[in-house]
Amino acid sequence: MTYRLMCRPLQTLLAGIGLLLAGYLHAETWRFAVIGDTPYNEYERRELPRMLDDIAAENPSFIVHAGDFKEGKAVCSDELFIERRMLFDTSSVPLLYVPGDNEWTDCRRLPAGHFDPVERLQKLRETFFATPRSLGSKTLPVERQAGAYPEHLRWRLGPVLFVSLNVPGPDNNYGLGQAPSDEFLARNPVLIDWLRQGFATARREHAAGMVIVMQANPGFRHHAAGLTHAGFRALLEVLSSESLAFPGQVLLVHGDTHWQRIDHPLRDPSSHLPIANFTRLETFGYPLMGWVKVIVDDEHPRLFRFEVHPYRRR
């Protein structure tokens, strides 16, 4: 009897420790990093490898680059594309890249070399999307959309599905006139279908969240005011309807307007209130270098947590 009485407190303590350890073992977090709109000049080109090392020291599963790996007036040459591919491959963690307007749609401009944008996009595909794997010295496998758009990717991290889209700023290559460009008419339905497929896959797999990566800022403020740009109308309508129907959290990562921010700009078309499960993360951009760590925590109410890291020159 005395032995049992003496052991009960110890048994209770051990049971409590066991439950605590079980909780720690069950809890799990995942991390990835977000950059974009860099490098734009020689300084950023020189410093980017150091920033990639800083990111790697935080042990993310991968880095997402949301497009624009050069400034708009830099010539869109094969040599520059190859140099940027080699730069990205120096990353010691996998790096996922989406095309930006500076790399293809803006290449039609005279200072950028007066190229055919569609031809430059094809060169990007050959240089950065030739195989179903990420960039970096260590790569990870990805799924590619079947057909002519291998830059549309899909991959996973823990309970989250990732989808990348070729949506360049500032107008999704809609064109300057009233009528949309032929390139837009061909690509936009394909990327909308890839986005819908992504949400369907996330629902089927019971994913806790979905991350969408693209370059363009689609103009949420104008959309909320009923002034949606034609190049983004279908995309924003699908983002709204699919986010409202999705039981998990949705994170949109984009660059383009060089204003690092994290907010909730997408509004429910019926109530005009922010869609609660939709978050926008815009990357740092020239003239400010920096990166954002995204922490995925399936026990946190909002799933995604953020740490903002302005880059400081060593």
At residue 21, the pLDDT reads: 38
Cα gap 23→184, rounded to integer Å: 50
Residues of the chain with pLDDT > 90: what percent?
A: 88
Asked if residues 124 and 103 have their Cβ atoms less than 8 Å apart, the reply is yes
User: How buried is 262 (Cβ within 10 angstroms: 0-12 exposed, 13-18 middle, 19+ buried)?
Assistant: middle
Cα gap 193→197, rounded to integer Å: 6
Could you read off the pLDDT of 238-251 as tens digits, one per residue? 999 999 999 999 99
Summarize the confidence of residues 75-101 as an average pLDDT. Answer: 98
Could you read off the pLDDT of 248-278 as tens digits, one per residue? 999 999 999 999 999 999 999 999 999 999 9
At residue 15, the pLDDT reads: 44
At residue 176, the pLDDT reads: 84
Could you read off the pLDDT of 50-59 as tens digits, one per residue? 999 999 999 9
Ordered by where they begin, the domains of the chain are 30-310 (3.60.21.10)
Q: Model-level pTM?
A: 0.91
Q: Place 20 in a pLDDT band, splitting at 50, 70 and 90.
A: very low
Q: Say if strands 290-297 and 29-35 run parallel, antiparallel, or are unpaired.
A: antiparallel
Q: Place 3 in a pLDDT band, splitting at 50, 70 and 90.
A: very low
Summarize the confidence of residues 141-151 as an average pLDDT. Answer: 97
Look at residue 174 and tell me whether its pLDDT is greater than 60: yes
Residue that has been written with the tokens 């921010």 in this structure: 261
Strand order of the sheet with strand 29-35? Answer: 95-97, 63-65, 29-35, 290-297, 304-310
Collect all residues with Cβ–Cβ distance below 8 Å to 275 and sequence separation of at least 6.
240, 243, 244, 264, 266, 267, 268
Cα–Cα nearest to 112, from 66, 71, 144, 153: 71
Residue that has been written with the tokens 């007066």 in this structure: 114
